Amino acid sequence: MNKNPEPQQRKALGRGLSALLPARPNPVSIAEATTGSPARPPSVLDAATLPIALIVPNPDQPRGNFDPEKLNELAQSIRANGIIQPVTVRPIGEHKYELIAGERRWRAAQIAGLTEIPVYVRHVGHDHVLELALIENIQRADLNPVDTALAFRQLVEGHGLSHEQIAERTGKDRSTITNFLRLLKLSEPVLEELAGGGISVGHARALLNLTDPAAQGAACHQIISHSLSVRETESLVKKLAKSGSGQTGHLTEAKQLDPNIRAALDEMAQVLGTKVRLITRNNRSGKLEIEYYSSDDLERIYSVITARRS
């Protein structure tokens, strides 16, 4: 059998690989990166090396927190190996650049003592910076769920993008965008646990079925202290919702409370991590109800109350 076609197959394979691998951008000088060329498409990346002092962070950076320990670890790696992946910046004035993506590397480079850093210069307007930063971080799985949700909200409120448009530009389903935005309805303590990894997105979605912030906090505490699975959390939330413990506004009396008393009740609920209700008999007397959802939860509340006596 004739085997002559084999070289052609290899040649075709070579063309396929070259089509998959993008061409590396050509290095340019700082002056060229600053001014650019009128004919250059805004999507083109220019490679350059810039002084760190000329680069400023993006005020709309999607990432809210930078772990100091991880930054130091990255700085140590940079001292040993240099910066493997350049940061992405855009020119915003004469010899001044704003970070689009790579703020962790930029911060770590400063800790490592670098005075220059490799960059890709991208010629884009301000409206596209957050979008590009968000997409870059999502593709690197580099944001916690709360930072991702906040970035999505900024794209909606600050840039007028619909859920469908965000989905198209980030490669996510529209329902994913909507579900992330719903997470922002959770109480602040729960969002802190979600951002820090104390609970998962699955846990957080289950807690959305509790409309009362104190009930969310109490349930979140149980998730962490008892290492509840998402399914166990869903069962807990159903019990709380069925009993009415997870709802707000079911007492018309609560809406009529003096604002100072309402604030005091909210503070007690925050400290105890559970729902606190005031039931008045008249202007001078009543009773205070503190809810608990298990024997362990009761013991926890007791410990909080007695600990505050000392």
Assess contact for 154 and 60: CB atoms under 8 A: yes
CA Rg value for the chain: 27
Which of 154, 186, 147, 184 is CA-nearest to residue 65? 147
CA angle 148, 151, 157 (to 5 degrees): 140
d(CA 219, CA 210): 9
CA distances from 266 to 118, 271, 277 (A): 51, 9, 9
* Helical segments of the chain, H only: 5-20, 30-35, 68-81, 103-111, 129-139, 145-157, 163-170, 174-182, 188-196, 201-207, 213-225, 230-243, 252-255, 259-272, 295-307
- The Cα 191–Cα 147 span in angstroms is 10
Q: Which of 73, 98, 103, 299 is catalytic?
A: 103
Contact 272, 301 (CB under 8 A): yes
Closest CA to 216 of 180, 179, 250, 188: 188
Is 103 a catalytic site residue? yes
Residues known to be catalytic: 103
